[in-house]
Amino acid sequence: MKKKRSKFVCAIILLLLAMSVGPISQASEIDFSIKAVLPENQRSKEISYFDLRVTPGEKQTLSVELTNDTEKDITVYASANSAITNDNGVVDYSYSDTKKDSSAKFTFSEIASSPKEIVLPKQSIKTVECVIDIPTEPFDGYVLGGLYFEQKEDKAEKSQGALAVGNRFSYVVGVLLSETDQEVKPELALNQVKTTQINGNNAVTMNIQNKQAAMIKKLQLDAKLYYENETKPRYENHQKSLTMAPNTNFNYKIELNEQPFVAGNYTVKLKANDGFREWDWERKFEIKEKEAKKYNATAINLPPNQKKQFPWTLVISGSVGVLAVILGIIYYFNQKMKKEQKRQEEKYEALKKNLEQ
């Protein structure tokens, strides 16, 4: 069973990397192409990305051929990027400036270096090298990254402003590094739960972390948000077939759609399943009145009458206070009247006795 699982995990990784090779944005014209030159320590020659068995303390040189078939010189920006998990639950290789996850001993971008800018003459092929310094401390599992190439826009495209974005083209070649066949299983954790806005929409986010050097291909998440002591969730989000890169984290969200934040106490219940194991979390948090008002005022999808949230908490607490004062006053005067009535009755009885004598 363990052997079958290891084969399945390898197949998952190969599938993810296969999807990572090639263009990652659309363009009206492709001005260059790339091809990975696979080295001797490539684990499979049947794939077009780097899947390398490396040795602690050694240097690894990766070569990529860039081809310019056009009749003009072009400039290409290059970077060696760590794989991250973006907030859509997708493994992403396109960010060069990413924060290192707290669980990672090192990242691909920390040990890899490549040229920053490459000039490709017209009708030419140029080989670009990326050097990787493998750490001396051995590791199990996987380190995942990508060699990212993006064409620099020319002056004519730049002058067109926003329209030029569609003409920029980029490629990424996945790089998977391993030293052993030792199986490493994912370990998920729920970190911060907070209120926020995403593209002007109110949402609650839950930061989910993969703390191990393991890939997750089919991650299913079920999140429910409860208000106060209600047994039925007010909001929920269910997704499957998400992916996570090794030693990364991302923010899974529950959107409130066209509803405002309401101040009060909340509970998030979250379930995760990677096909082999299930995780369950429950987290309580509070949305304060000031915080709710701030987000509701700037939310773009709220009806005008909900932009300014009615302060129900203040109204209810104020009403309870006023009612308590009124009841106190009524009780006070009621007790005073009873004492006065008793005093009058005692006076009357004393007077009655004197008259009888």
- Let me know if 243 is exposed, middle or buried by CB neighbors in 10 A (0-12, 13-18, 19+): buried
Question: Per-residue pLDDT tens for 63-89?
Answer: 999 999 999 999 999 999 999 999 999
Type of residue numbered 325: V
pLDDT of residue 13: 53
- Mean pLDDT in residue range 189-205: 95
Q: What pLDDT, on the 0 to 100 scale, is given for residue 342?
A: 72
Do residue 279 and residue 329 come from a single domain?
no
What pLDDT shows up at residue 89? Answer: 97
Note whether 324 and 251 are same-domain residues.
no
Look at residue 333 and tell me if it is in a domain: yes
Between the alpha carbon of residue 76 and those of residues 169, 240, 297, 311, the distances in Å are 10, 36, 43, 55
pLDDT tens for each residue of 162-193: 434 444 578 999 999 999 999 999 999 999 99
Does 35 lie in the same domain as 126?
A: yes
Give residue 355's pLDDT band: very low, low, confident or very high (50, 70, 90). Answer: low
- Residue 142 to residue 183: CA distance in whole angstroms: 10
Number of domains in the chain: 3
Q: Which residues of 62-79 are buried (b: 16+ CB within 10 A; e: fewer)?
A: bebebebeeeeebebebb
Asked if 228 and 157 sit in the same domain, the reply is: no
pLDDT of 5-30, one tens digit each?
555 455 555 545 544 555 544 444 66
CATH number at residue 162: 2.60.40.10
DSSP line for 164-216: GGGG--EEEEEEEEES--------EEEEEEEEEEETTEEEEEEEEEE-SS--E
pLDDT digits (tens, 9 = 90+) for 261-292: 999 999 999 999 999 999 999 999 999 999 99
Give the domain range for residue 205. Answer: 188-307
Q: The tokens of 88 are what?
A: 């859509």
Confidence of residue 310 (pLDDT cuts 50, 70, 90): very low
Residues 35 and 51 in one domain: yes
